[in-house]
Amino acid sequence: MQTEDVKREVGKFYDEVGWQTETDGHYQNAQYEDLRPVSAEYIARCHARAGSHLAKSGQYLLDAGSGPVQYDAYLAYSAGYQQRVCLDLSHVALTEARKRLGERGFFVVADIAHLPFKPEAFDGIISLHTIHHLPAEEKKACYLGLYRCLKPGRSMVTVDGWNQHGLKRLTQWMVRKASQLKKGNPSNTAPTAAPASQAQVVGTWAVASEAGSHPAGTFVTKNNAAWFEETFNGVLPYEIRAWRSVSVSFLRAVIQPEWGGKFWLRVLYRLEEWFPHYFGKNGQYPLIVIRKPGRQQPA
């Protein structure tokens, strides 16, 4: 499928499926997150990590691939900015984002790989779980395009997932063991992983809806830390840190209230804080922080 067709289908998926509200009041896309109380504190602290690397105030914050700005922690990123510029392929996402931001937002239907903004337009840039929807050959140019739009002396933050990482074998083993322990315990109904209809597939279409008029799913291409370093060493002033080192499948399988789940997530969060670069490169979800140097002041 051609690149433009891929992007058209991604936008269609989020319009018709991902950002539609379900009977529980959540967006369909919330099925890719662990919203249980046992994980809530850890999830919220990970969300807050992204904002901690942005300037606290400014004129414009670009949210590239904003979706509907569905979590309160996401709203907090632009609390000190005059305007939040939400960019997305999905009309539905931007309509929902307008409900949350009102007059403090601008809403632009556009492609993150072809930004319609002038250089150095933004005091901060954030992009969460969006760049992995691009074909691999567009990713480098996407990062460079975002960097071009960033003001000197400011920072941009992206979050996506690695398809291969150092902790993958360990976490998969723990998921299998947890699943075995839960067998025969009918009172434990928490899913161990996303259902097959929601499974992500690296570099191909991730089926996320039942058969019918909805598009079949959304395209995902994930890379790893080695690819990122090889691509951007000497090109961008980046830092790879931990956003969240475990997957939703891990959380749903291993983190259970009766197993002290909240305590173990606090331990994990503290380890991620102590060793952010290790967990950023070897965990599931990296936080890429890119800081643009300030201009030299004349003597």
CATH number at residue 109: 3.40.50.150
Mean predicted confidence (pLDDT) in 164-175: 93
Averaged pLDDT score across all residues of the chain? 83
- Does residue 1 carry a pLDDT above 60? no
Mean predicted confidence (pLDDT) in 141-150: 97
The tally of domains found in the chain comes to 1
Q: What is the pLDDT of residue 191?
A: 44
Asked, for residue 299, whether it belongs to a domain, the answer is no
Asked, for residue 26, whether it belongs to a domain, the answer is yes
Q: In terms of residues, how long is the chain?
A: 299
Where is pLDDT greater, at 195 or 63? 63
Asked, for residue 10, whether it belongs to a domain, the answer is yes
Asked, for residue 205, whether it belongs to a domain, the answer is yes
pLDDT in tens, 248-263: 999 999 999 999 999 9
The domain in which residue 65 lies consists of 3-291
Asked, for residue 296, whether it belongs to a domain, the answer is no
67 touches 15 (CB < 8 A)? no
pLDDT in tens, 4-59: 655 666 565 665 555 566 555 665 556 668 889 999 999 999 999 999 999 999 99
pLDDT in tens, 228-253: 999 999 999 999 999 999 999 999 99
Q: What is the pLDDT of residue 201?
A: 38
159 touches 245 (CB < 8 A)? no
Q: What is the pLDDT of residue 130?
A: 92
pLDDT above 90 covers a percentage of the chain that reads 64
Q: What is the pLDDT of residue 40?
A: 94
Asked, for residue 297, whether it belongs to a domain, the answer is no
